[in-house]
Amino acid sequence: MTERNQAGWGHRTLQSLLLLYLLLPLAATAVYAFAGDWQDTVLPKQWTLEWFESLFQDTRFLEALWNSLYLCSISVALSLAVMIPAVFVLTVYAPRLESLMKGIVVLPYAVPGVVAAVGLIRTYSGGPIDIAGTAYLLVGAYFVAILPYMYQGIRNSLLTVSAPELMQAAGLLGAGPVRAFLTVVLPNIVPGILVSTLLSFSVLFGEFVLTNMLVGAHLQTVQVYLSRRMGESGHLASAIAISYFAFILILSMVLMKLGQTKGRRVRG
């Protein structure tokens, strides 16, 4: 154990190099976003907030930000509304069907976004349901993309609070299944589901392939907007990238805090 606690200088150098390698692109983007004049020197000659100012006055960026936020929120909300009853019903009433559900739900892991986009475009452009290029199609695609995280999160929470036993107990005390679900099970699984909700949100916020291929021509999210502006102004693009990263970072920190408090509660 002592050896493990006092890692030698070799290990320390290696890890420092690793972190340097991993953080360098991030640091460069951050410096570029705040740099006034940066040429031929290690660090910029002057610093400025100009790029962020112009970014948050740029109506096209604000529109993209709004698009990202509402598309992700609607998709996650829809997923919650659909997945909670489905996973609940399977866990409590039909555990035998769970392996089928697992098979369906794990598919988006293995199928790349480009492939999913091909199928979606084929199905919904022309034909009886023509919703190509609309937010409806994207929300459907997003719903499928976050299936694995939502399923895992909801199922784990249900098992942690032992939902089947809770339902039985509530039934014995005279509550109908719907009432038992709404007043006993649902309040108990909210903390667990919160984690997978935030995770799904941050996954969708960073989504590019589906968004660009399905609705890129009509609707721009932050990622699509960034890819369009990259060639024009490097400083502005860095400001977008850093704002995006800061947002995701805050989200994952909240996520980690939630995970920790939950872990402690379960252990205690």
Which one of 5, 46, 59, 99 is in contact with other proteins (CB under 8 A)? Answer: 5
Positions in 171-190 near other proteins (CB under 8 A): 177
Which listed range, 48-56, 60-68, 141-149, 183-191, lies at the site for other proteins (CB under 8 A)? 141-149
Query: How many beta carbons lie within 10 A of that of residue 257, not counting itself?
Result: 10
DSSP-assigned letters across all residues of the chain? -HHHHS--HHHHHHHHHHHHHHHHHHHHHHHHHHEEE-SSSSS-SEE-SHHHHHHHH-HHHHHHHHHHHHHHHHHHHHHHHHHHHHHHHHHHH-GGGHHHHHHHHHHHHHS-HHHHHHHHHHHHSSSSS--TTSHHHHHHHHHHHTHHHHHHHHHHHHHHTTHHHHHHHHHHTT--HHHHIIIIIHHHHHHHHHHHHHHHHHHHHT--HHHHHHHTTT---HHHHHHHHTTT-HHHHHHHHHHHHHHHHHHHHHHHHHHHHHHHHHH-
Q: How far is the CB of 207 from other proteins (least distance, A)?
A: 6
Query: Does 109 help bind other proteins (rule: CB under 8 A)?
Result: yes
Q: Is 246 in the site for other proteins (CB under 8 A)?
A: no
The distance of closest approach from Cβ of residue 192 to other proteins in the complex, given in angstroms and rounded to an integer, is 10
22 binds other proteins (CB under 8 A): yes
Instruction: Candidates 52-60, 65-73, 183-191, 198-206: pick the segment binding other proteins (CB under 8 A).
Output: 198-206
d(CA 125, CA 176): 45
Question: Does residue 118 bind other proteins (CB under 8 A)?
Answer: yes
Applying CB under 8 A, which of residues 8, 9, 99, 174 lies at the interface with other proteins?
Answer: 8
Footprint on residues 216-235 left by other proteins (CB under 8 A): 216, 223, 226-227, 230, 234
Segment interacting with other proteins, rule: CB under 8 A, options 52-60, 65-73, 139-147, 183-191? 139-147
Q: Which one of 49-57, 59-67, 182-190, 255-263 is the stretch in contact with other proteins (CB under 8 A)?
A: 255-263
102 binds other proteins (CB under 8 A): no
95 lies in the binding site for other proteins (CB under 8 A): no
52-81 binders of other proteins (CB under 8 A):
81
Supply the minimum distance, in Å, between the C-beta of residue 46 and other proteins. Answer: 16
